[in-house]
Structure 1
Amino acid sequence: MERDWRRRAVRRIVVVGAGLAGLTAARELLRSGGCAVTVIEAQPRPGGLAITVDRQGCRMDLGPHRWHTEMPEAHAVFESLPAGLRIEAVRRSRMLLGGRLLRYPPSLMELARRMPWRALGMAAGLLAARGAHPATSGAAPSDCAAALRSLYGRPIYDLLFGPYMGKVWKTPPEQLDAEIVRLRILPHRNRLARVARPRSNRRLQYLRGGIEALPRRLAADVERAGGRIICGAQAVALEGEAGAVRAVVCQTASEGAKRFEADAVLSTAPITNLAQMLAPLGMAPQAVESARSLEFLRLILVNLMIARDRAMPDSWIYFPEASIRINRAHEPKNFDPSMGPPGRSILAAEITCRGADAHWRAGDADLIATATRDFQTAGLIRAGDVADGFVVRLETAYPLYQIGFRSRLATVLEAVGRFGNVVTFGRQGLFNHNNMDHSIVMGLRAAQAAASRTPATAMRAFDAEFQRFRIVD
């Protein structure tokens, strides 16, 4: 039976998920030819986490989605967009610490000037960390707290990095894998420069009208090449046998259950969901259990519609202290002035959640009131500035890298790989911290793998490349 689909003149490919990774894979497959591609997407329109929301003429992305890449293949996709869409803006970041807005990344000179009683300890800790040599300091730290202390010293960790990591990940940093530091913190040779010297203002790249212009273009390319994109279709089951999937079953609001036959399945669904769908087809019980132990952080975006042209000059602001509930905020009009009409703007706040915690259970009105108080405390808005507000909730926003996650993930991926015509990829599909450019490259690699005789095996060959990805905020 397997030989049949490999010999088929036109292979039927089903892509689960119409985010950047899924759409890129579909477009690349159609360009290569010999494939009939169907993309199924649970949400009402393509885009995944890269959609842009419009409320009363004000627009916002699902978080600050500026474009940055050092990968030529991803940059070529961005450059293929019309020149009039590609714009630049000044990049400026700050953080609220000790009641003051300071530059971010932090300048040791500024910290010392604003907090002179801490200066000597911070400088001594940083210099001690700088002088520690890997050959004399023992094994590399396995947890996030130890890794950060080894980079910046205890005083800066206690003031800034420790509280912020615990706040964002809703987990004690001692329980987080040091992989987070490798992904998100500059390498050893740059650690002093990052804290001791402020970076000059840089420019960021963006798309006029919102980042959704990128998936919109990819989706148009897919449909122009003959591919189908079916939205409002939630993948709920897979059909087949041990070693291969033959169909994807979706639930739709308008037509009920729909079945799509497949010679290969490219899935960007959360790896936890994919494992549950593969379990009835013979996925190893140990792998299914390992998948259940993997956890995604949830994200709440609280968006205040303010009756002012701008609330702040920053691209984004970080809030490391526990007294402020929100983690980070950005103002879309600082990426593109056309994201709101004159005299009105959105101030977007992020709150991460671990499971259905108190913030996740809170009503929208309570969340809007919380964000309003926090922004007033930060001095960004005044009483009466908020004209309205709305909330967006994302259930699988960030993979949570707890200690030991890597071995559990390897167990799951190995079991998925035993289904020879299934490829899992993308942020949720590989449980991988991704920027947009990473998702695009993953989509390109998934298409390459799907074109081979053994897609699952071919995709695993790219694992080392994906693990070298670094997050750029």
Structure 2
Amino acid sequence: MRKNIHILGAGPAGLALALRLLKRASLDCDISLIEKEPFTGGLCGSFSRSGIRFDYGSHRLHACSDKGILDEIKSYLGDDLLLNKRNGRIYLSGRFVRFPLKPADLLFHLPPSFIAGIIRDTLLKPFRSKKGGVHSYGDALLYSLGKTMCERFYFPYAEKLWGLTPFKISADQAKRRVAGASIGKIMRKICSKNDRKSVFYYPKNGFGQICGSFEKHANELGGRIHVSSDVHSILHSEGHIQSIRFRSLDGKESSVEQNTDFLCSTIPVTSLVRLFQPSLPQSVLDAADKIRFRSLALVYLVLRTDQFTPFDTHYFPEKNLIFSRISEPLNFSQCSDRKGLTGLCVEVPCSLGDSVCHASEGELVSMVLDDMKKAGLSVRCEIEDSFIRILKDAYPLYELDTMRNFKVIDNHLSTFSNLLNFGRQGLLIHDNIHHAIEMANSAGDCITDKCSLDALRWRSFRRRFEEFVVED
């Protein structure tokens, strides 16, 4: 009898895992994905509005991604996968500087006080002390980078992105989010002649075309994808998951129960643990209650002009501006059904229940336009359309006790013989899409033909995941 493998979440990690398993001829299993949203792709999806393809935030496929992963995506997208030169800007000390930085930018475009501070901090590095230990993001970066880079870039940006002071953020965040964790590494990165760092791949029809191609091939290989479907129960006994129950959110069918031989989850781990019946130990549920995620309000503007700026992305670390990043999709790919229009995606970090989430659409658009004017990016053309999307649980928050609480959950979930929890929201790992696909491929390789988990191999992969550093 054919066995059943279920995957919770049809974002890039879930879809990539389904493909990995479906391609294995020796695996005699039905593969089903359960996705709560009416579309696949998760945060890496795309949609159309006013004839423009929009993404859920600014995304790119980095040229430094694993070659095997790049080759697979190229095989699906062919000529639709475009190679672009990076052309961004960052707003520092009241002025725009090219991003990624080049040596000339350091000399001619950054304020002299900024350069002088970096030089001073570099010279004083041998005299900085780790007395008291390195417990937080603030401790780690102050020691490695000094006050100038921290106080004028990393600290305000971190507080804007995560809603926490740098000294309430775990030191793990510095390792996972800061590619150049010392002045020397940053300078080597700036002066590097590595061409792969200056270019990126982007699909012709929006970033969601990558996940769309995964979905298409998964369907062709016999995978079953249930969208608009909400899992409400995971039934288990004696360390073994027996079945899952899910209901259709479009009202077309009532609750369905399916037996499962192996369950994979990419949904937020804090949501996963609350689905088990019987309930998991209270200590696990208490740990889940202490783990938080950061949300993102996306403000979209459709403008009556061919191009707003020639830059693909603008970054804004300063706290006096509400947004952290603005991207212009048509500068990634000229995919539009209408001439004379362009679109902007403005990213506003937030937490559910705060003033941003409570603001009306009109209020939030007005706040964004006011701050764009402050930054010298006034919208002088007609706005044809504006709308917002709220992305709940966009990024895990690394608070000082987050990983300690996660370990309580992780240790208990590892006692289930046929459960594999992975992905950004499952393992609380900040990642790019190539990291998500690597995690998925690794997960697939750890599920045996008999629908059991090669736990030793999975632990080895997990150590590898801990070394992921997000590429901006």
Q: TM-score, normalised by structure 2?
A: 0.91
> Superposed, which structure 2 residues align to 1:164-179 within 5 Å?
164-179=157-172
Partner of residue 390, structure 1:
387
Q: Aligned partners of 1:456 and 1:63: how far apart in 2?
A: 36
| Identity score, percent | 25
Instruction: Work out which of the residue numbers 44, 54, 60 in structure 2 matches 1:50.
Output: 44
Amino acid across the alignment from 2:18: A
Whole-angstrom distance in 2 between the partners of 1:46 and 1:107? 38
Deviation at 1:196, TM superposition (A): 7.2
* Deviation for aligned residue 1:76: 2.9
Q: Distance in 1 between matches of 2:268 and 2:100?
A: 32
1:103 to 92, 98, 101: 98
**Partner secondary structure for residue 81 of structure 1:** helix
- In the TM superposition, residue 154 of structure 1 has moved relative to its aligned partner by 0.7
One-letter identity of the residue aligned with 1:266? C
CA deviation vs aligned residue, 1:216-236 (integer Å, no higher than 9, x gap): 111111111111111100111
Correspondences of 1:347-362 after superposition (within 5 Å): 347-362=344-359
Query: 1:213 matched to which residue of 2?
Result: 209
1:118 deviation in Å?
4.8
2:249 aligned with 1:255, yes or no? Answer: no
Mapped pair 1:142 → 2:135: yes
Q: Residues 80 and 204 of structure 2 are in contact (CA less than 8 Å); yes or no, is this contact kept in structure 1?
A: yes
Please tell me whether the aligned partners of residues 152 and 191 of structure 1 are also in contact (alpha carbons under 8 angstroms): no
Contact 2:50/2:302, CA 8 A, preserved across alignment: no
Moved over 4 A (4+): 105-114, 136-140, 194-201
Among 175, 179, 191, the alignment partner of 1:182 is: 175
The alpha-carbon distance between structure 1 residues 171 and 165, as it changes in their structure 2 partners (threshold 3 A), is same
Map Cα deviations across residues 227-272 of structure 1 (whole Å, 9 max, x no partner).
1111100111111223111111112122131222211111111100
SS in 2 for 1:204: strand
Question: In structure 2, do the counterparts of structure 1 residues 140 and 448 end up closer, same or farther at CA, with 3 Å as the change threshold?
Answer: farther
Contact 1:59 1:340 in 2 (8 A): no
1:305 and 2:297 are equivalent in the alignment: no
Relative to 1, partners in 2 of residues 1:110 and 1:30: Cα closer, same or farther, differing over 3 Å? closer
> What are the residue-to-residue correspondences of 1:65-464 with 2, within 5 Å?
65-68=59-62, 69-105=64-100, 110=105, 114-129=110-125, 131=126, 137=130, 141-185=134-178, 186-188=180-182, 190-193=184-187, 202-252=198-248, 253=250, 254-278=252-276, 280-339=277-336, 341-451=338-448, 454-455=452-453, 457=455, 459-464=458-463
Contact 1:14–1:260, Cα closer than 8 Å, also in 2:
no
Once residues 44 and 453 of structure 1 are traced to their aligned partners in structure 2, the CA distance between those partners, rounded to angstroms, is 29
Q: Which moved more, 1:294-303 or 1:449-458?
A: 449-458
TM-score (norm 1): 0.91
Question: Which whole-Å CA distance do the structure 2 matches of 1:146 and 1:339 have between them?
Answer: 46
The answer for the alignment partner of 1:3 in structure 2 is none
- CA RMSD for the aligned pairs? 2.4
Unpaired segments ≥5 residues, structure 2? none
* Structure-2 residue corresponding to 1:468: 467
Contact 1:242 1:282 in 2 (8 A): no
How far did 1:371 drift? Answer: 1.5
Structure 1 position 137, deviation (Å):
4.4
Q: 1:351 to 1:190 in 2, by over 3 A?
A: same
- For the 8 Å contact 1:126–1:192, the answer to whether it is kept is no
Q: How far 1:43 sits from its partner (Å)?
A: 0.8
Could you tell me which amino acid in structure 2 is paired with residue 408 of structure 1?
A: N
Q: Structure 1, unaligned stretches of length 5 or more?
A: 1-8
When residues 132 and 207 of structure 1 are mapped into structure 2, their CA distance, relative to the original with a 3 A threshold, is farther
The SS at the match of 1:80 is helix
* Equivalent in the alignment of 1:5: none
Whole-angstrom CA distance in 2 between matches of 1:437 and 1:195: 20
Return closer, same or farther for 1:355/1:152 CA change in 2, 3 Å cut-off: same
- Distance, in Å, in 2 between the alignment partners of 1:161 and 1:319 is 11
Deviation at 1:436, TM superposition (A): 0.4
* Closer, same or farther: CA 435–119 of 1 in aligned 2, 3 Å: closer
Alpha-carbon spacing, 1:117–1:263, altered in 2? closer, same or farther (3 Å): closer
Shift, 1:107, TM fit: 6.5
Is the Cα contact below 8 Å between 2:77 and 2:203 reproduced in 1?
no
Q: Equivalents in 2 of 1:360, 1:442: separation in Å?
A: 32
Alpha-carbon separation, structure 2, partners of 1:439 and 1:340: 31
Distance 2:192 2:97 in 1: 11
Tell me the amino acid that sits aligned with residue 243 of structure 1: G
* Matches of 2:367 and 2:346, distance apart in 1: 10
- Give how far 1:306 is off: 0.9
